[in-house]
Structure 1
Amino acid sequence: MDLATEVTPSEAGTILTVDLAAIVANWQTLRVVCGDAECAAVVKADAYGLGLGPVVKALYEAGCKTFFVAHAFEGRAARAIAPDAAIFVLNGMRPNTAPLYADFNLAPVLCSVPEIEDWGQYCAVTGRRTPEGGLLPAAFRLETGLNQLGLKPYDLEHGIHLSHLFDVTLVMTQLARAEHGEAIAKQIEKFEIMRMRLPKARASIANSGAIFLEANPLYDVVRPGYALYGGNPTPGRPNPMKPVVRLESQVIQVRILEPGERVGEDQGWAARGPRRISTISAGTADGIPQSLTKTKNGAGGAAIVQGKRCPYIGGVGMDLVAVDTSDSGYIERGDIVELIGPSITIDDFAAAAGVSGYEILTRLGQRCHRRYQKL
């Protein structure tokens, strides 16, 4: 059962609205920013939790022709929607999975010598070709400083020796976060040297944040992810992206507390005077981090109830969280609460919880009712 599509609004504790038109608009904005570089789309992790199928369909119909996923099964799902797109699988090629890549014309991003050898051997032994009759595609991921996945210079030389067996259409690397400017400069320098060993392959280095870095070469293909989904790729500056998600819940009970009464399983919040609290039908299983009520500065997060910011109190349970609605207008069971939306962006929500926006997006629970807007 796919809860995200089968649960109805009346059954759901939370409703996640995804604006597909905004995702397309964000991709179009990035395409303009990137100039001559092709603007691809990263749709791994179920399109950052928002639904790979609807997101790929919307972007493909808008003209996006290159997609990046993390796993082959995601690539297979994307291929069913985008029959002639280039689809790259970022996490490399697992043992004994080469036929899957060939069957669905997926390009493995080869990150190690064993992967290169496996792909080369498969291509040589089977003689498989693309639907157009060309060599099967692949990409090389170059290790330039993160030390997670990728080819060091000596690995690359071995890969080049076998690269006549398949078509290396792309060389790429992953950059450090934008705040590590000195590290990024060193990465770019290493990448520039290594990529010249495959001069016919297109090059890719820029993710969402790197697109907006000054003096960062965009090369041939850019790989935005977070920015597509409304996250700010320029921290500390106004967000150039349109908001994409809205997360709402309902009040399921309202009660008045006397001074000294406590809230939640951890009993960490006590009323300092008469307070009116509202319990809403959302919790960690819906993607609400426990840290929203336990931030270092004590500020915590807030929800929007009747147009007022109401702080989370008493800890976040699996299914429930309480907010202090004492300063709001009249509240009753069934009222809608904005958790993420026009007043609280993804970045605001993440900052209040002390986590990244990536984590928030991909945590949004499958038991939310997910609805899509196209206009």
Structure 2
Amino acid sequence: MAGWGQSGTGGHGARLTIDLGALASNWRTLAALAPGAECAAVIKADAYGCGTGRAGPALWRAGCRTFFVAHLSEALAARAALPEAAIYVLNGLPPGAAGAFAAADLRPVLGSLDEVAEWAAFSQGARPAALHVDTGMNRLGLRVPEALALSGDPRLAAAGLDLVMSHFVSAERPEDPVNARQIADFARVRAALPGLRGSLANSSGIFLGGARHDLVRPGYALFGGNPTPGRPNPMRPVVRLEAAIVQVREVEAGASVGYNGRWTAPGRRRLATLSLGYADGLPRSLSGRGHALVDGVACPILGLVSMDLIILDVTDAPAARRGASAVLIGDGLDVDAVGKAAGTIGYEILTGLGSRYVRDYDG
């Protein structure tokens, strides 16, 4: 692995390491939980910040054959990395885009009657697509009555549908009654549209009874996020983020730190500066709330997170010195914990990891 300041650190003393072996292992774990279903992979947002060009082929080698992305641009990048895969585009068919989808052998997830009509007129049954039914999100998809009314509609055959899907509102909270309502509504739609494969379960949905159907489509869990909040994480960590300390200094009582002097030293303290910040995906909301690990010691983030710099209190970390490593994700400090400290979720942390990192890949 490259040393600090070499190509593997992006030139700013930080290193983002992606464990492709753990990624593949997580896919196999989730596939085993749904033995009667195909296990796809959601690799939108550049594979949750991990890099579609490396994460996609690693999942393919593990046995994954179907992938989901959000946008046409993401699908084109995925196609370049996965020439033989089935690739669905979750955010639907933009007006006039059918030709671009067909040229790259991509499958739109049709989310409105207008999209169904446009794809049917273009495809004439020759190219597959999915139908998105809204069972509670009120975001994308046909409403349940619209989907039921399609039963026997000739546009279904012309649209080449091979999959009907919906999306859970609250799968990470098994006790939420909305889950049972969505499962029941989805069952009604499937009964009205026989012959189509069904997909409802996202990462957390795989752990709900009655939700796996013919195809499950995990995303966040593949990349190490916990699909069962409040319970032990069954996934292996995939992402590790560490940064080199670029400077260490001592300050006396009363010295302020960072913009606007938001933190003041209560006594003599030892501070370390890291060369990364909110431009690299470490949210400003971690100011005064998050921490990093230096030789296993939790070192609080002081003052405001800057665009390119973070300051730690390393008074209790004797190993802290110029060039030493501070871990921001990894060694037990998982992405969900970082998200919680930032007042957000681990998804946002992963997908926000910036372009200044060079991704190093293990496995």
Matched position secondary structure for 2:270: strand
* Match in the other structure for 1:78: 78
Report percent identity of matched pairs: 47
Unaligned runs of 5+ in 2: 1-5
Q: In the alignment, is the contact (CA less than 8 A) between 1:142 and 1:151 conserved in 2? A: yes
Aligned equivalent of 2:3: none
Match of 2:188 among 186, 193, 196: 193
Cα distance in 2, alignment partners of residues 62 and 7 from structure 1: 28
1:30 and 2:19 aligned:
no
* 1:239 aligned to which of 226, 233, 236: 233
Distance apart, 1:79 and its partner CA? 2.0
Given candidates 136, 139, 148, the residue that maps to 1:145 is 136
One-letter amino acid of the counterpart of residue 14, structure 1? A
Number of the residue aligned with 1:230: 224
Q: Look up the SS of the partner of 1:101 in the other structure.
A: helix
Amino acid at match of 2:93: M
State yes or no: 1:119 paired with 2:119: yes
CA distance in 1: counterparts of 2:67 and 2:159, whole angstroms: 20
- Once residues 197 and 84 of structure 1 are traced to their aligned partners in structure 2, the CA distance between those partners, rounded to angstroms, is 31
Once the 2 structures are TM-superposed, how far is the Cα of residue 154 of structure 1 from its aligned partner? 4.0
Q: For residues 237 and 91 of structure 1, do their structure 2 counterparts lie closer, same or farther at Cα, with a shift above 3 Å needed?
A: same
Evaluate the alpha carbon distance shift between residue 331 and residue 154 of structure 1 in structure 2; reply closer, same or farther with a 3 A threshold. Answer: closer
Matched, 1:174 2:167: yes
Whether contact under 8 Å (2:13, 2:244) holds in the other structure is: yes
Q: Matched residue of 2:303: which SS?
A: strand
**How many angstroms apart in 2 are the aligned matches of 1:68 and 1:15?**
28
TM score, norm. by length of structure 1 = 0.91
CA displacement, residues 136-184 of structure 1 (integer Å, 9 cap, x when unaligned):
0010000111100010134322484411213211000010122262111
The correspondence for 1:273, drawn from 267, 279, 282, is 267
The whole-number CA distance in structure 2 between the counterparts of 1:200 and 1:330 is 63
2:36 and 2:10 mapped to 1: Cα distance? Answer: 47
Residue 10 to residue 49, structure 1, CA distance change in 2 (3 Å): closer
- Paired with 1:105 and 1:174, the residues of 2 have a C-alpha distance of 24
Q: Do the aligned partners of 1:16 and 1:246 also contact (CA within 8 Å) in 2?
A: yes
Runs of 4+ in 1 over 3 A off after TM superposition: 158-161
CA positional deviation for 1:198: 1.4
TM-score by length of 2: 0.94
Q: What is the CA-CA distance between 1:252 and the residue it aligns to?
A: 1.1
Counterpart contact for 2:71–2:89, Cα < 8 Å: yes
Matched with 1:3 is none
Question: Residues of 2 paired with 1:76 and 1:261: CA distance?
Answer: 52
* Deviation at residue 191 of structure 1 after TM alignment: 1.0
Counterpart Cα distance in 1 of 2:130 and 2:57:
24
CA contact (8 A) 1:13 1:368 kept: no
* Structure 2 SS opposite 1:333: coil
Aligned-pair CA distance for 1:115: 0.6
Q: Is the 8 A contact 1:260 1:270 kept in 2?
A: yes
Q: Does the CA contact (< 8 Å) of 2:117 and 2:159 recur in 1?
A: no
Question: What is the identity, as a one-letter code, of the residue corresponding to 1:22?
Answer: A
Q: In the TM superposition, what is the alpha-carbon distance from 1:10 to its structure 2 partner? A: 6.7
User: What does residue 106 of structure 1 align with?
Assistant: 106
Q: For residue 136 of structure 1, what is the aligned residue in structure 2?
A: 127
C-alpha contact (below 8 Å) 1:12/1:369 kept by paired residues: no
Kindly indicate whether residue 207 of structure 2 is the aligned counterpart of residue 212 of structure 1. yes
Q: CA deviation at 1:293?
A: 2.2
Equivalent residue of 1:322, what SS? strand
Task: Determine whether 1:46 maps to 2:46.
Answer: yes
Q: Which moved more, 1:316-325 or 1:175-184?
A: 175-184
- Cα deviation code 1:273-295 (max 9, x no counterpart): 1001111111001111111125x
Other structure's SS at 2:359 match:
strand
Q: For the residues of structure 2 that align with 1:205 and 1:230, how far apart are their CA atoms?
A: 21
Deviation at 1:7, TM superposition (A): 5.4
What's 1:252 paired with? 246
Shift in Å at residue 77 of structure 1?
A: 2.0
Give the Cα separation in 1 of the matches to 2:321 and 2:284: 25
What secondary structure, in the 3-state scheme, does the structure 1 residue paired with 2:45 have? helix
Counterpart pick for 1:310 among 277, 299, 304: 299
Equivalent in the alignment of 1:87: 87
| Alpha-carbon distance in 2 for matches of 1:263, 1:216 | 53
SS of 1:74's partner is helix
Q: 1:10 to 1:206 in 2, by over 3 A?
A: closer
Q: Distance in 2 between matches of 1:228 and 1:246?
A: 14
Q: Aligned partners of 2:77, 2:278: CA distance in 1, in Å?
A: 28
Unmatched 5+ stretches in structure 1: 1-5, 125-133, 295-299
For residue 16 of structure 2, what is the aligned residue in structure 1?
16
Give matches, 1:283-294, under 5 Å.
Answer: 283-294=277-288
Supply the distance in 1 between the matched residues of 2:293 and 2:80 (Cα, whole angstroms).
Answer: 39
Q: For 1:22 and 1:287, how far apart are their aligned partners in 2?
A: 22
- Paired letter, 2:78: A
